[in-house]
Amino acid sequence: MNDKPETQPIRTNFQNLPFWNPTKIYDHEVNKNIHRMDLNECPYPPSPNVIKAIQNVAHTLNRYPDGTCPELTPLVAERLDVPEETITWGGGSTQLLTSIAEISVAPGQNLVTPQLVWKRFEGIYKIVDANVTSVPNKSNGAIDIEAMTDAIGNDTRLLICVTPNNPTGMMLTEQEIRHISENTPENVLLFMDEAYHEFAIHAGGPDALEILKDRKGPWAVTRTFSKAYALAGVRLGYAICSSVEIVNAIRMVASTFSLNGIAEAAAVAAWNEPEYTQFILDQNAKERSRVVNGLQDMGYNPMESVTNFVSCDIKHPATDIVKAMRARSVRISTVGGNEFVNHIRLSMGTPEDTDAFLDNLKKVLDTF
Ligand SMILES: Cc1ncc(COP(=O)(O)O)c(C=O)c1O
């Protein structure tokens, strides 16, 4: 019904949208011990030191916080060896992804992105109203780096890359990141989502930020406190950018007061406690091996994840499996994309979560 646009206060891309709440607790789950393995969360709570730091700033919540994170920024800048003024903060890295797209691609201009990528990006394509070139992933699910750079056209302003990628859990090699950095022209913003960076390093993978530091053209890398720092609930992510101009553009779009008043204190405490992050990463790797081995023992071939989630072709429509598992209090998710309708994705949990997943999956598959 776009023949009378003046009568439509909502932009075409936003009309009649469905809403799906990923965090919804179903009635049968209330007050039950559910195995929450669908949102790539950390199964462990923040450390006692982090909880104490949050309590210590609770009395300041009548004030707006300083969204430049003046205490945390120098700590992060020093460890990452980047200038402080090239870092900016967002309410989760999700907010920054949108801002990065908004500052680079005007409606109708082109962005290049992998076809199989975190579902949230579909919302971002709508927001910026871009002409999207979705580059098919390789048959094993990996991002096809050469096809991505080959897809860049005169009108391309943004190239989106995610390493390790969600939902595959697969990371790019150092050579692949170099290829993309060197073959993305200087009039294209190269964006790397590294939400699972710490997991990639734990698995011996490359550091995309270090490689992008050599790039001549513009770039931005996002990371988060949600995963390896057990702080999904405080909603704090950051972008490291190639210039102050990009930082200030993101700040303008992401709004003045987008952080909450406990995020910085929580993140400083978590950043200063690398042993706890190491514990989270070690535990995650153990449970990932158990999940992968368990799926292999059942005859399946999971994707080669280095992250806190694993995707696997389960040879049955994933929506049915996800539904049946949820009825048994094990929350897992689908992967999406036509070629991956039989893939489930599950996040790593505690050892008990792994047991519950493997046990219930066998029972559910017996009924199919
Ligand atoms: C690839 C990717 N990027 C970003 C995010 C969002 O993280 P945050 O909690 O920092 O918004 C996620 C969350 O699952 C993700 O999978």
94 CA to centre of ligand 1 in angstroms: 6
368 CA to centre of ligand 1 in angstroms: 33
CATH 3.90.1150.10: which residues of the chain?
Answer: 18-46+274-366
**Residue 3: is its pLDDT beyond 80?**
no
**Residue 159: is its pLDDT beyond 80?**
yes
- In this structure, how many other beta carbons lie within 10 angstroms of the beta carbon of residue 154? 7
39 CA to centre of ligand 1 in angstroms: 9
Rg (CA), the chain: 21
Calculate mean pLDDT across residues 103-107: 97
What the block records as the tokens of 188 is 């294209």
Over the stretch 193-216, which tens digit does the pLDDT of each residue have?
Answer: 999 999 999 999 999 999 999 999
Give the sign of the dihedral formed by CA 174, CA 179, CA 185, CA 190: negative
Closest C-alpha among 100, 214, 102 to residue 162: 100
Q: What are phi and psi of 90, to 5 degrees?
A: -145, 165
Q: Which H or E element spans position 121? A: helix 120-128
Q: Which of 36, 39, 93, 98 to mutate to test the pocket of ligand 1 (most atoms within 8 A of CB)?
A: 93
Q: Which of 41, 166, 171, 225 to mutate to test the pocket of ligand 1 (most atoms within 8 A of CB)?
A: 166
**Neighbouring C-alpha atoms within 13 Å toward the C-beta of 347:** 19
Task: Please list, in sequence order, all residues whose beta carbon lies within 8 angstroms of the beta carbon of residue 249, skipping any fewer than 6 positions away.
Answer: 99, 103
**Residue 4: is its pLDDT beyond 70?**
no
**Residue-level pLDDT at 316:** 95
| Topology of the domain covering 48-271 | Aspartate Aminotransferase; domain 2 (3.40.640)
123 CA to centre of ligand 1 in angstroms: 13
The whole-angstrom separation of Cα 35 and Cα 357 is 8
77 CA to centre of ligand 1 in angstroms: 21
**Residue 1: is its pLDDT beyond 60?**
no
Q: Which of 47-61, 198-212, 283-297, 332-346 has the lowest mean pLDDT?
A: 332-346
**Residue-level pLDDT at 5:** 56
Atom number in ligand 1 closest to CA 193? 3
Q: Which of 36, 117, 224 to mutate to test the pocket of ligand 1 (most atoms within 8 A of CB)?
A: 224
| Topology of the domain covering 18-46+274-366 | Aspartate Aminotransferase, domain 1 (3.90.1150)
The whole-angstrom separation of Cα 230 and Cα 45 is 6
Residue 2 binned pLDDT confidence (cut-offs 50, 70, 90): low
CATH 3.40.640.10: which residues of the chain?
Answer: 48-271
Calculate mean pLDDT across residues 313-332: 97
Calculate mean pLDDT across residues 316-343: 94
The whole-angstrom separation of Cα 276 and Cα 119 is 29
Atom number in ligand 1 closest to CA 237? 10
